[in-house]
Amino acid sequence: MYDARNLVMKHIAVKCCVWRIGSLALLPLLVVQLHAQWIPTSSPQNFTATVLATADSNLYAGHSRGMLTSSDRGRTWMASKKGLPEGRVTALAVRSVPGGTMLFAGTQLDGVYLSIDNGVTWNPVDQTPVVETERHAAIVGAKAYYGGPTVFALVASGKYLIAGMNFGGIYRSTNGGGSWSVANEGLTSSAPMGPPTITALATSGDYLFAGTTGDGIFLSTNNGRQWTSASNGLPANGRSVYVPVNALASSPKGKKNDGENVFAATEGTGIYRTTDDGRRWEPVNYGLRNPSVYSLAVSVGPAGGCVFAGTGEGVYVTTTNGSVWKNVTTGMPQVKVYALAIAGDTLYAAVARNGVWKRAIPPMITDASRKP
């Protein structure tokens, strides 16, 4: 177990030494300062999480050797081991059900696992995606990317659970992973060896988007049963048809019944947005200083959504549907942010070699809304 109390108290003590002028009247300023910048949770030193998920006060952080869980918003963390194989956790998805939460974890080599007790114990679901991906790799005589069949993306959409595989395309389940069916109709790949590698999945209303390592973005209007290319406007990278897509997220446009914007985080060319369900993508990078974007998260309010982006040098936010981005990394190392997750009014960030950090969302929105 890792405890953040000592670290936070040291942080508070330093601030008190700076501000102490013989009066306790400045204490409220201390609280404001702590909420106005990033603070570390108690995750281990030099820890790198690559996927994050939240459910109420519970946090889940997947990393190269398994997963850590926190039931108190990051104050303490525990290793989640019982029933989960040791190895990389590459994707997380949360489904709320009456009386609890279904937590799904995608892994490298070992398929998908399910926990119904907030990560205390795990059980494998049907491993058809892993078996079929391995079989296909053997047939074409190719070694799958990442050293074996890996679940790169998971999303829970209504009764469906959708899994994006490396070298295996997409599988879907209608019974919580109890059984899977291949769902590659319409997916095309620039490689001759089979379906594209799926790196990101996101829902937008009744639509489902899938991002790939080099074959663009695909759209499904029937819960993943069939797909069509939706890559118009995305850039090429010279080695494959399109640049890799690291993350996808949808955000309300603002007015009721206006639909949603969908954002795509790419490797090396920034962020792209579609306002018309994938018919056309356009770059929305004004204010971004680093074009490598690894993660996205959306916070929805009465006036629409604000979008957060984890980049190669910290966190950015837009309150204008991507027209302008503002760096909001105050207090946190400006390095790669591999994952973002939101719980209530708090944003959590997985920072390379620096663990999991958190910051209140309202001050970031206020900061981003200020005119230069």
pLDDT band at 149 (very low <50, low <70, confident <90, very high): confident
- For residue 202, what are the β-bridge partners? 209
| Residue 226 phi, psi (nearest 5) | -140, 155
Instruction: Determine the Cα angle at 290 with ends 286 and 292, to 5°.
Output: 110
pLDDT in the model for residue 254: 65
Please state, in angstroms and rounded to a whole number, the distance separating the CA atoms of residues 168 and 76: 37
Q: What's the chain's Rg over C-alpha atoms?
A: 21
The DSSP secondary-structure symbol of 32 reads H
Give the rounded percent of residues in the chain with a pLDDT score beyond 90. 70
To 10 degrees, the CA torsion angle through 33, 345, 119, 296?
A: -100
Half-sphere exposure of 128 (CA within 13 A, CB side): 15
pLDDT band at 306 (very low <50, low <70, confident <90, very high): very high
Alpha-carbon distances, residue 186 vs 36, 207, 224 (angstroms) = 47, 15, 10
pLDDT band at 175 (very low <50, low <70, confident <90, very high): very high
**Which amino acid appears at position 25 of this protein?**
A
Please state, in angstroms and rounded to a whole number, the distance separating the CA atoms of residues 247 and 245: 6
pLDDT band at 6 (very low <50, low <70, confident <90, very high): very low
Given a cut of 50, whether residue 260 has pLDDT beyond it is yes
- Domains (ranges, CATH) in the chain? 46-369 (2.130.10.10)
| Span 318-343, pLDDT tens digits | 999 999 999 999 999 999 999 999 99
Give the rounded percent of residues in the chain with a pLDDT score beyond 70. 84
pLDDT band at 302 (very low <50, low <70, confident <90, very high): low
Please state, in angstroms and rounded to a whole number, the distance separating the CA atoms of residues 325 and 264: 14
pLDDT in the model for residue 237: 72
Q: Count CB atoms within 10 A of the CB of residue 97.
A: 9
Please state, in angstroms and rounded to a whole number, the distance separating the CA atoms of residues 264 and 248: 5
> Left if phi > 0, otherwise alpha if psi is -120 to 50, otherwise beta: which for 224?
left
pLDDT in the model for residue 142: 55
| Span 17-53, pLDDT tens digits | 333 333 334 444 444 444 579 999 999 989 999 999 9
Q: Count CB atoms within 10 A of the CB of residue 69.
A: 19
What does the mean pLDDT of the chain come to?
86
Q: Which two tokens stand for residue 46?
A: 């030099």
Are 338 and 295 contacting, i.e. CB atoms less than 8 angstroms apart?
Answer: yes
| Span 51-72, pLDDT tens digits | 999 999 999 999 999 999 999 9
What's the pTM?
A: 0.89
Residue appearing with tokens 């760096």: 327
| Residue 261 phi, psi (nearest 5) | -90, 145
| Span 82-132, pLDDT tens digits | 999 999 999 999 999 998 899 999 999 899 999 999 999 999 999 988 888
Which element (helix H / strand E) includes 284? none
